[in-house]
Amino acid sequence: MMETTFAIIKPDAVKAHFAGKIIDRIEQEGFEIVGMRKMNISREQAEHFYAVHKERPFFGELVSFMISGPVIVMALRKDNAIMAWRDLMGATDPVKAAVGTMRRTFGAHVGENATHGSDAPETAAQEVAFFFPELA
C-alpha cells in the first residue's frame, strides 16, 4: 500500500555533513521524496512537535537539541513507507541498531541519533501536515 511518511535529518547529522549520504540512501531504497526543506526549527515548533514527550525527563534536552542547528524535513512516499523508513532508520539507540541502518551508521548516541521518523499512519499524517501543509 502506497504511504507517505515523515522524516527528519537531525541537527547532529546535518552538522556532520551526513545529509547527502542519508538522502542518497533514501533514494536508493526506493523512496520518492515528495517534500524536502532545510530549516531551523523554532523552540515553539519543537515543543509542539514533541509535545507527546512533554512529561518525560528528556523533553527539554530533546527540544534544545532539535533547535541547535538546521534540520532537513522530508515527506517520503513508498509502499509501506512508515515501516520501511523505520526499518531503514534502525533502533533509537545507535549501539542497538542493526548494521547498515541510518542510526547505526550516522548516529552518535541515543540523544543524537541522526534521524526521526513517524511511527504510525496517524502520526505520519500529523507530522507531514505540520511541516508540509500543502501535502496534507
Q: What are the residue numbers of the active site?
A: 116
Per the CB < 8 A criterion, the answer to whether 7 and 76 are in contact is: yes
| Residue whose C-alpha is closest to residue 112's, from 2, 28, 22, 13 | 13
Q: How many angstroms from the chain centroid is the CA of residue 12?
A: 12
56: exposed, middle or buried (Cβ count in 10 Å: 0-12, 13-18, 19+):
exposed
